[in-house]
Amino acid sequence: MSKTSLFLKTGLGALLLLSGPAMAQETPEFAKAMDTTFIFNTLLFLICGFLVMWMAAGFAMLEAGMVRTKNVSMQCLKNIGLFSIAGLAYWLVGYNLMYDGVDGGYMGSFSMFTTPDPSEDAGSYAAGSDWFFQMVFCATAASIVSGTIAERIKIWPFFIFTALLTGFLYPITGAWKWGAGWLQVANFQDFAGSTLVHSVGGWAALAGAVILGARVGKYNKQGQVMPMPGSNMPLATLGTFILWLGWFGFNGGSQLALGTIADASAVARIFVNTNIAAAAGVVAAITLTQLMYKKIDLTMALNGALAGLVSITAEPLTPSMPAAAFIGAVGGVIVVFAVPMLDRLKIDDVVGAIPVHLLAGIWGTLIVPFTNGGATYGAQIIGIVAIGAFTLTASTILWYALKLTIGIRPSLEDEVAGLDTAEVGLEAYPEFGQGSQRI
Amino acid sequence: MSKTSLFLKTGLGALLLLSGPAMAQETPEFAKAMDTTFIFNTLLFLICGFLVMWMAAGFAMLEAGMVRTKNVSMQCLKNIGLFSIAGLAYWLVGYNLMYDGVDGGYMGSFSMFTTPDPSEDAGSYAAGSDWFFQMVFCATAASIVSGTIAERIKIWPFFIFTALLTGFLYPITGAWKWGAGWLQVANFQDFAGSTLVHSVGGWAALAGAVILGARVGKYNKQGQVMPMPGSNMPLATLGTFILWLGWFGFNGGSQLALGTIADASAVARIFVNTNIAAAAGVVAAITLTQLMYKKIDLTMALNGALAGLVSITAEPLTPSMPAAAFIGAVGGVIVVFAVPMLDRLKIDDVVGAIPVHLLAGIWGTLIVPFTNGGATYGAQIIGIVAIGAFTLTASTILWYALKLTIGIRPSLEDEVAGLDTAEVGLEAYPEFGQGSQRI
Amino acid sequence: MSKTSLFLKTGLGALLLLSGPAMAQETPEFAKAMDTTFIFNTLLFLICGFLVMWMAAGFAMLEAGMVRTKNVSMQCLKNIGLFSIAGLAYWLVGYNLMYDGVDGGYMGSFSMFTTPDPSEDAGSYAAGSDWFFQMVFCATAASIVSGTIAERIKIWPFFIFTALLTGFLYPITGAWKWGAGWLQVANFQDFAGSTLVHSVGGWAALAGAVILGARVGKYNKQGQVMPMPGSNMPLATLGTFILWLGWFGFNGGSQLALGTIADASAVARIFVNTNIAAAAGVVAAITLTQLMYKKIDLTMALNGALAGLVSITAEPLTPSMPAAAFIGAVGGVIVVFAVPMLDRLKIDDVVGAIPVHLLAGIWGTLIVPFTNGGATYGAQIIGIVAIGAFTLTASTILWYALKLTIGIRPSLEDEVAGLDTAEVGLEAYPEFGQGSQRI
């Protein structure tokens, strides 16, 4: 990082400077479009990639805020662990399974992604920046699962499932569309992953929630729902803001290019629509909960934002702003109705990830043809059903296999005592309140 | 997001690559300055825009940390709600009222901002990126109000005020200067909004604080100030760091361009001065509180940072580093003296937003001619007074109208019980301590 | 920020537009490579700089979560204060001492860095952007110290030490390598600062921890270690995620250039390796703690991530992905063994900063020649020893001087009561639990 080496490194510019400004003006050396395009595209992947990486912290905070104190350390551990495991699994298996030679088919090759040699960085972006951007998407799918099945799963089966989800399940369905597989051929459209990322996470979460069963005490013998309020609302709020911020990277980066005026304008429109959809999701959720319950529900407002974001993710570019507001608002409405509906079905989704990521993801994918003339409702339904069927089936098999082998659920005593004590050995807030005495 | 489509999308670069490196070197295609300028400017708006968006989370955490536990969920709800409402109101009314055809006058047109068609994206930046950047500024003004009047306002009147502030009040005074209205003609200078954003928020907050009155128990019958310490200092600290980070976008992005060496250098100087002013604000506040109270007050240190940031916002480009340090340090001093002064006036400002945003905002705007030869003290005073008079008057009218119609203040019982129970129905920390038993 | 002025500012692009698209196509004006290189390089410094600035918040949250409630406000104050002091000291003394005319020697000049005049912004990046980027690195070294010596140091001696560390100690050893001093001549390699930043902070922390002694009650008379669990695990987790995010700027920005395809590809590879090393550090720590203790330790997982990051920092560019995983994993292993080892030596390191920053920093620096053919083990050892000897000696002298003059340790009563009460006068969580009653 010495200033000397900087001059040596930035070859061309420095050379021109050394020859003096007068001479530089006489013989101006122009920037090659190939170079600036490459740099802009790479920069887009890196910036949007770090924003999506930051979403891992958003999920961690959202979930840490929505579980009871006795399971907060566990939830933190799951989140730092899953992001790490996802990064390794996507490198060892996932990326090439998703992108390498899919060619209209069902999956790519079983080979490891290797850091490109400098000399191999041909193309219109740095291969490393693309891997980084795709990897954080993969990790997002795993984050979704973590929230739904919180407070009642052992740590190692969760980590094993994460490795399989991010190494195999997500990459396979990803290959179908983004890897230029059969769903791409079938004209299924999913710009940034309402289905490929969010619904995949949601289906995997749903399978887990059903197989695990509800938390002890969540549904009593009379069939009533016992509220188990989250322990830290500002953390949940912080998590939501982090996710909102990260989503600009999630959707904006999915334009995949920034090297032309058209691409830059597209990324800008995506930012606008992403924000409008989230805002509309919040306003829909707060208005609706006020009307239905005479009070605004903060957690519904937060999930309304997320549902708006998931909804616009399948097509953040073509909608006009009113259309984006409509798409996001319906997302918010879905959450308000789906959360109690899941409770009636006794599916215990701790953070509301199934309504937010699965249902709003389906909605967002379905509505693509409303604004994108190149999409068809038929192809959208095929994609939603195919990816759902695969992910739900494969997840169910995996969860059952884990259940039958190492077991997935802690003992009743451990669950009542809290997983922080039983599995992590570390209370999240050792000096506050009565955490572990509560069910 | 398939790699195939990426190659198709990035037309030019890909084309050159297909023709092979040798041929590409023979016929180099150069990047047009028009294109790179457009992309750099748009990228500046998008990056700085997401940093300013992140400030919404900063205000949320700062305020959640500075209120008592019984009002924390409410404060979170206000912040996610106001950011959403601001985004919609600025789209539906605000942006065009601020920018469309002001032409030396008092306001623009009453028409909705529409997402530009790709083909309409002429100019030197993407229209969507500019809207996004301006929208997050507007939301910032609303965030300021939220903190001052915390713990004693009902949720819906706050949201209605937010909609009117972000749809009408902020855009009108914004039009006077940034929309090229009469204050621009009068040579009023406010680079990134010490007055246009921070003081506007501060005046609106002041009107609200006076009309609402103080929190129950804040000033006892003997006229003493009863301390009501914030419930979560690390969250307040986190919020301050978030705001500090976001401010690089706030001030840096206000250069509005990145496409030339001069613009890039200017953005860099703005980053430097912004950081120096904040640091000087902190050091001034900790030194002064040590001298005055024999202990450093953490909340003063945090507000010192923010006051330094607000102070430099009116002119972050022209000051030398010593001048930036001086401007920021005075901001820190203002906070240390103004916070107890407000208490003597029995104006109950929960987070200190009036000293930080209004008073330091006035200071920063006044001092512009000290470093910017193009500014005059006369024009600065005209701008401060005109915008202050308008915003204070209009805010007072709005708050009174809300008070006389739907009412703005919760019942005494609700306020004592805490707004989380009364208005939100959700405790922020249900398992910690004794939150709601405290006044 | 008026749209009018924007058009005036972005001269060239606007001019071309005014002449109409047809004419613009006839006489295309191309972007100069000198200009785009300058802008890309500056942008890299600014983006990576704000990411590293954000690490200050990461340290604040990590430390606030790892100390007991009675010292949380103090820890927040230390972190906002140190970042401010570091910024001022690096401007007043540090930067030029590190970079101005070192020329193979031991330090630069004792003169103040001055904001460059616009006309002076020659070179291949904006001077302000470079200062900003280097300044946040300097602040990072100070942040490291803060964590180790938490809960038992008075505020002013800490601030004075911070000023001396960031104004003198860090810049002097920095000059040896990055200022092109004698270690640069000796071919010592440290890409982004495993030694120059992290070990320097670690040595200064070690000196402080030894001279201060352990916290009251940490090691009982029987020589047992008494656990003093951190008070807020989600904050510690948040801090770790923030640091992970910021590290992309830390390592990526240390490429120092983005203006060519080679530089952009290098930054991308650095992002990839940085993430892989962190992930491997986590997986190593969780696997190892599971094997050793039958439970995964969350704080070890968090420190595993950080140790992985520190380990890869000396050379994030040349390793292949497997090599990066190996380097990071060893970092995680080091932490798991070194934390209890320090306790056996009765060195009380509250957050584990010595294992993470000093030991993993040494490891990362030592292993550089494994992947970088230009480095030698001899030169690496010389650099590690020289910088360690200087920093440890100088820090020891400074800590002793502070101890003998103003005193560094609070009274026993103050320490037991907690520094929030004694030094800050503000509890961090006044409504939660029993904070200050605990030792």
* Range with lowest mean pLDDT among B110-119, B300-309, C25-34: C25-34
Q: How far apart are CA C24 and CA A98, in angstroms?
A: 43
Q: At what angle do helices A155-164 and A72-89 cross, to 10 degrees?
A: 30
The pLDDT of residue B372 is above 70: yes
Q: How far apart are CA C244 and CA C62, in angstroms?
A: 12
> Residue C136 in contact with residue C52, Cβ under 8 Å?
yes
pLDDT less than 70: residues of chain A: 1-28, 118-122, 433-439
Determine, for residues C35 and A31 on separate chains, whether the beta-carbon distance falls below 8 Å. yes
> Any residues with CB less than 8 A from the CB of C11 and at least 6 apart, and which?
B260
Measured between CB atoms, does A33 come within 8 Å of chain B? yes
Measured between CB atoms, does A295 come within 8 Å of chain B? yes
Q: What are phi and psi of A32, to 5 degrees?
A: -75, 140
Measured between CB atoms, does A386 come within 8 Å of chain C? no
Residues from chain A contacting residue C69 (CB–CB below 8 Å): 431-432
Distance from CA of B416 to the nearest CA of A (A): 18
Domains and their CATH numbers in chain C: 36-106+141-438 (1.10.3430.10)
Determine, for residues A298 and B87 on separate chains, whether the beta-carbon distance falls below 8 Å. no
Q: How far apart are CA B398 and CA B403, in angstroms?
A: 8
Measured between CB atoms, does C85 come within 8 Å of chain B? yes
Q: What token pair was written down for A87? A: 């990064």
First to last CA, chain A: 54
Distance from CA of B46 to the nearest CA of A (A): 7
Task: Out of C11, C36, C113, name the one closest to residue B36 (CB).
Answer: C36
Question: Helix and strand tally (H, E) in chain C?
Answer: 21, 0
- For residue B119, the model assigns a pLDDT of 65
∠ CA B210-B212-B216, nearest 5°, is 110
Over residues C124-151, the pLDDT tens digits come to 999 999 999 999 999 999 999 999 999 9
Task: Out of C6, C118, C238, name the one closest to residue B265 (CB).
Answer: C118
Over residues B286-296, the pLDDT tens digits come to 999 999 999 99
Q: How far apart are CA B80 and CA B92, in angstroms?
A: 19
Residues from chain A contacting residue C275 (CB–CB below 8 Å): 53, 87, 132, 135
Distance from CA of A430 to the nearest CA of C (A): 6
Over residues B403-414, the pLDDT tens digits come to 999 999 999 999
The pLDDT of residue C10 is above 60: no
Q: Can you tell me the mean pLDDT for C102-124?
A: 86
Q: How far apart are CA B243 and CA B306, in angstroms?
A: 8
Distance from CA of B411 to the nearest CA of A (A): 16
Measured between CB atoms, does A49 come within 8 Å of chain C? yes
- Per-position DSSP letters for C48-67, written without gaps between them: HHHHHHHHHHHHHHHHHHHS
Determine, for residues A57 and C238 on separate chains, whether the beta-carbon distance falls below 8 Å. yes
Measured between CB atoms, does C425 come within 8 Å of chain A? no
Residues from chain B contacting residue C49 (CB–CB below 8 Å): 271
B186 residue type, one letter: A
Determine, for residues A34 and B13 on separate chains, whether the beta-carbon distance falls below 8 Å. yes
Determine, for residues B272 and C132 on separate chains, whether the beta-carbon distance falls below 8 Å. yes
Over residues C167-194, the pLDDT tens digits come to 999 999 999 999 999 999 999 999 999 9
Instruction: Give one word for B193, left, alpha or beta, with left for phi > 0 and alpha for psi -120 to 50.
Output: left
Determine, for residues B271 and C39 on separate chains, whether the beta-carbon distance falls below 8 Å. no
A342 residue type, one letter: L
Determine, for residues C259 and A65 on separate chains, whether the beta-carbon distance falls below 8 Å. no
B residues 316..375 contacting C (CB < 8 A): 320-321, 324-325
- For residue A316, the model assigns a pLDDT of 98
- For residue C28, the model assigns a pLDDT of 61
| Kind plus residue range of the DSSP H or E element containing C158 | helix C155-164
- For residue C269, the model assigns a pLDDT of 97
- For residue A199, the model assigns a pLDDT of 98
- For residue C123, the model assigns a pLDDT of 82
- For residue B122, the model assigns a pLDDT of 66
A202 residue type, one letter: G
Q: What token pair was written down for A373? A: 């003339």
- For residue A25, the model assigns a pLDDT of 45
Residues from chain A contacting residue C280 (CB–CB below 8 Å): 84, 88
Q: How far apart are CA B234 and CA C77, in angstroms?
A: 10
- Per-position DSSP letters for A50-74, written without gaps between them: HHHHHHHHHHHHHHHHHS-GGGHHH
Q: How far apart are CA C418 and CA C436, in angstroms?
A: 6
Determine, for residues A10 and C233 on separate chains, whether the beta-carbon distance falls below 8 Å. no
Distance from CA of C29 to the nearest CA of A (A): 10
Indicate the pLDDT class of residue B96, thresholds 50, 70 and 90: very high
- For residue C116, the model assigns a pLDDT of 80
Measured between CB atoms, does A120 come within 8 Å of chain C? no
Q: Can you tell me the mean pLDDT for C327-331?
A: 98
Indicate the pLDDT class of residue C36, thresholds 50, 70 and 90: very high
CB atoms < 10 A from the CB of B24, how many? 17
Could you tell me which of C243, C29, C130 has the C-alpha nearest to residue B33? C29
First to last CA, chain C: 54
Beta-bridge partners for B219: B225
Distance from CA of A352 to the nearest CA of C (A): 20
Could you tell me which of A317, B170, B191 has the C-alpha nearest to residue C5? B191
Over residues C279-318, the pLDDT tens digits come to 999 999 999 999 999 999 999 999 999 999 999 999 999 9
Q: Can you tell me the mean pLDDT for C265-276?
A: 98
Indicate the pLDDT class of residue B117, thresholds 50, 70 and 90: confident
Q: Can you tell me the mean pLDDT for C36-62?
A: 98
Measured between CB atoms, does A285 come within 8 Å of chain B? no
∠ CA A119-A124-A125, nearest 5°, is 75
Task: Out of B69, B124, B268, name the one closest to residue C431 (CB).
Answer: B69
What's the residue count for chain A?
439
Q: How far apart are CA B439 and CA C4, in angstroms?
A: 52
Q: Can you tell me the mean pLDDT for C386-390?
A: 98
3-state secondary structure of A32: strand
Determine, for residues C233 and A87 on separate chains, whether the beta-carbon distance falls below 8 Å. no
* ipTM of this complex: 0.94
Could you tell me which of C342, C331, C339, C267 has the C-alpha nearest to residue C305? C331
> Residue C332 in contact with residue C283, Cβ under 8 Å?
yes
Determine, for residues C234 and A60 on separate chains, whether the beta-carbon distance falls below 8 Å. yes
Measured between CB atoms, does B17 come within 8 Å of chain C? no
The pLDDT of residue B434 is above 80: no
Q: How far apart are CA B85 and CA B82, in angstroms?
A: 5
- For residue A222, the model assigns a pLDDT of 87
Residues from chain A contacting residue B83 (CB–CB below 8 Å): 279
B residues 209..238 contacting C (CB < 8 A): 229-234, 236-238
Task: Out of C232, C248, C264, name the one closest to residue A429 (CB).
Answer: C232
> Residue B429 in contact with residue B69, Cβ under 8 Å?
yes
Determine, for residues B81 and A273 on separate chains, whether the beta-carbon distance falls below 8 Å. no
Q: What token pair was written down for C145? A: 């110290």
**Burial profile B154-169: b = 16 or more Cβ within 10 angstroms, e = fewer:** bbbbbbbbbbbbbbbb
What's the residue count for chain C?
439
Q: Which chains touch A (3 or more CB pairs under 8 A)?
A: B, C
Query: Which residue is it, tokens 């030029």?
Result: C96
Q: How far apart are CA A178 and CA C119, in angstroms?
A: 48
SS (H, E, C) chain B: CCHHHHHHHCHHHHHHHHCCHHHHHHCCCECEHHHHHHHHHHHHHHHHHHHHHHHHHHHHHHHHHHCCHHHHHHHHHHHHHHHHHHHHHHHHHHHHHHHCCCCCCCCCCCCCCCCCCHHHCCCCCCHHHHHHHHHHHHHHHHHHHHHHCCCCCCHHHHHHHHHHHHHHHHHHHHHHHCCCCHHHHCCCCCCCCHHHHHHHHHHHHHHHHHHHCCCCCCECCCCCECCCCCCCHHHHHHHHHHHHHHHHHHHHHHHCCCCCHHHHHHHHHHHHHHHHHHHHHHHHHHHHHHHHHCCCCHHHHHHHHHHHHHHHHCCCCCCCHHHHHHHHHHHHHHHHHHHHHHHHCCCCCCCCHHHHHHHHHHHHHHCHHHHCCCCCHHHHHHHHHHHHHHHHHHHHHHHHHHHHCCCCCCCHHHHHHCHHHHHHCCCCCCCCCCHHHCC
Residues of chain B with pLDDT > 90, as a percent, come to 88
Which residue of chain A is at minimal alpha-carbon distance from C40?
A: A39
Q: How far apart are CA A150 and CA A164, in angstroms?
A: 18
Measured between CB atoms, does B36 come within 8 Å of chain A? yes
Distance from CA of C389 to the nearest CA of A (A): 22
Q: Which 8-state DSSP code applies to residue A367?
A: T
